[in-house]
Structure formats: C-alpha cells, structure tokens
Amino acid sequence: MHKRILLSSVAFLILVSCYEPARECAEFKNGTFEFTTFVGNEERTTTFERKGELEIDYYEGKVDSSSIRWINDCEFIVQKLHPRNRAEQQAIHMKILTTSENSYTFEYGLVGEPPIAKGTAIKTN
C-alpha cells in the first residue's frame, strides 16, 4: 500500500514539474497595449501600438518609435528608431513568459545581458 502511494506521488510530481503554461504569443504581435510600472515611488503607464515591425510608444505626452525583430513567436528585439542618447541606442530583448486572454507577462533586458525586469502588458483592443 505504501509503495503504491509513493509511486503515485512520484508520478504526480514528475507530471507537475513538466507542466508549462500555454503561451499564445502570436495573439500579441499586433495591437494596442498598456504597461504600468513604478518609477521611483510613482506609478507610470505607457501605451504602445505594435503593428508588423513597428512599435509606437506614448509616454507622458511624448511619442517614440522602435523597430521590432521577432526571433520567434514569443521573443523579439526592440530597437529605437531615433535614439536621443547612447543608452537609447542599445537594443532590448523581450521574452513573453505567459499569456492570458488579454495580457501577457514578459521579461526584458539589454541584448546579450540577463533579463533585468518583468512586467505585464494588457491588450486594450
């Protein structure tokens, strides 16, 4: 009896450890999105539109555009089209980790570096 319980428990743990949440990343290649984060102690929201190989960001009354190069359905590289300084010249690697009906959770960082942060974007259209 104990052997059966032990085997069942081990089988269950193996199945659970192999579970990967479904990612429907293609659903988020195009659309309008919102991303909210904290800058210091203040909550800030960015709205961005993504269509094809272009992303347009709207942040605090400013508009900026970036090119997008998709590596696969869930990973892409964002590069500012008109960087204003050296920091903005660096490309950002984005990876979608999980998706839901109208949002996705992602991690991001400079290309070639480990991811530095996570966030959630909500599709508004």
Quick: pLDDT tens for 81-117: 999 898 889 999 999 999 999 999 999 999 988 888 8
- Number of structural domains in the chain: 1
Residue 81 counted as domain residue: yes
- Which pLDDT belongs to residue 6? 53
Could you tell me the residue range of the domain that residue 55 belongs to? 23-123
* Maximum pairwise Cα distance, the chain: 69
Two tokens, residue 24: 């429907």
| Residue 69: CATH number of its domain | 2.40.128
pTM comes to 0.77
- Which pLDDT belongs to residue 43? 87
pLDDT digits (tens, 9 = 90+) for 31-44: 999 998 877 888 88
Residue 10 counted as domain residue: no
Which residues are paired to 55 by β-bridges? 50, 66
Query: Does position 16 have pLDDT exceeding 80, yes or no?
Result: no
